Amino acid sequence: MSDPAPAPPRTPILRADNVFRTFQIGANRIEVLRGVTLSVERGERLFLRGASGAGKTSLLYTLAGLERPNEGAVYFDGEPLYGQSPNRQARIRNRRMGYVFQNYSLLPELTALENVLMPSLIGGERDAARARDLLERVGLGARVAHLPNEMSGGEQQRVAIARALMNDPEVIFADEPTGNLDSKTGGGVMDLLLGVISEQRKTLVVVTHDSALAESGDRRVELADGRLRG
């Protein structure tokens, strides 16, 4: 009996191929990413770490479809992300990606429930039952009608996590998700995020300057001066 054929190699959910990102500030040209090549596997929890100015947030935003690279390419599920039409890119960001930011980025005039619903509304749907379930899951079932200024920083970040999960995306991008929180609150938020990611088998890409936090993932990538280290 012949041996079974080997399984075909899996396509990474994300891949950056020789990506450069530059900014022009007056007469100065700032090179932020300098030829970065990186793959992220499905279900992986990847932490991007580096000092301030190392380029980690720019790399996250480039992988997430938020900042077009000056050179190189980004592939999402095997397709060139920035080769899609603007409408197609927007749909991928809305349906297949979720975002958690350091400053929470909640709309101040909306309740917790309404903030969580936003990705669904942008996609042309309104699934209030799912939004309520997600708030229950992050421990805020009793806070659905509260405005952001009526919640603590940790609670606001939990709302942001629920919002990121609203459309059941494949990848969650988190930019310094505990950066505005004290260590105890930040640890609780990070435990929650990692738990939800594992439970729902999502891919997670996190930017952090915290070396201890970066050990929480499956893999840590170091950036220095716009290049991967090691």
Residue 72 domain-assigned? no
Is this model's pTM higher than 0.85 or not? yes
**Residues written for the chain:** 230
**Residue 25 backbone dihedrals phi, psi, to 5 degrees:** -120, 100
More reliable by pLDDT, 173 or 29: 173
Residue 73 domain-assigned? no
Which tokens go with 129? Answer: 């039952």
Rounded average pLDDT over 101-108:
94
Residue 183 domain-assigned? yes
CATH of the domain at 135: 3.40.50.300
Residue 10 identity (one-letter amino acid)? R
Distance separating alpha carbons of residues 162 and 168, to the nearest angstrom: 10
Answer for the pair 174, 142: CB distance below 8 angstroms, yes or no: no
Instruction: Quote the domain boundaries for residue 155.
Output: 44-67+86-221
Residue in the structure block whose two tokens are 């992988």:
63
Residue 180 domain-assigned? yes
Contacts with 8 (C-beta within 8 Å, 6 or more apart), sequence order: none
pLDDT reading at 26 higher than 90? no
Strand blocks (E) in 26-113: 28-40, 45-49, 71-76, 79-80, 97-101
Strand blocks (E) in 151-217: 171-175, 203-208
pLDDT reading at 3 higher than 80? no
Which pLDDT tens digit goes with each residue over 120-130? 999 888 899 99
pLDDT of residue 68: 95
Answer for the pair 193, 25: CB distance below 8 angstroms, yes or no: no
Q: Residue 98's beta-bridge partner residues?
A: 172
Angle formed by the axes of helices 153-164 and 128-137, nearest 10°: 130
Residue 122 domain-assigned? yes
Residue 184 domain-assigned? yes
Contacts with 133 (C-beta within 8 Å, 6 or more apart), sequence order: none
* 3 state DSSP class of 163: helix
Residue 138 domain-assigned? yes
Number of domains in the chain: 1
**To the nearest whole percent, how much of the chain has pLDDT over 70?**
95
pLDDT reading at 70 higher than 60? yes
Strand blocks (E) in the chain: 14-25, 28-40, 45-49, 71-76, 79-80, 97-101, 171-175, 203-208, 219-224, 227-229
Residue 104 domain-assigned? yes
Residue in the structure block whose two tokens are 């079932």:
141
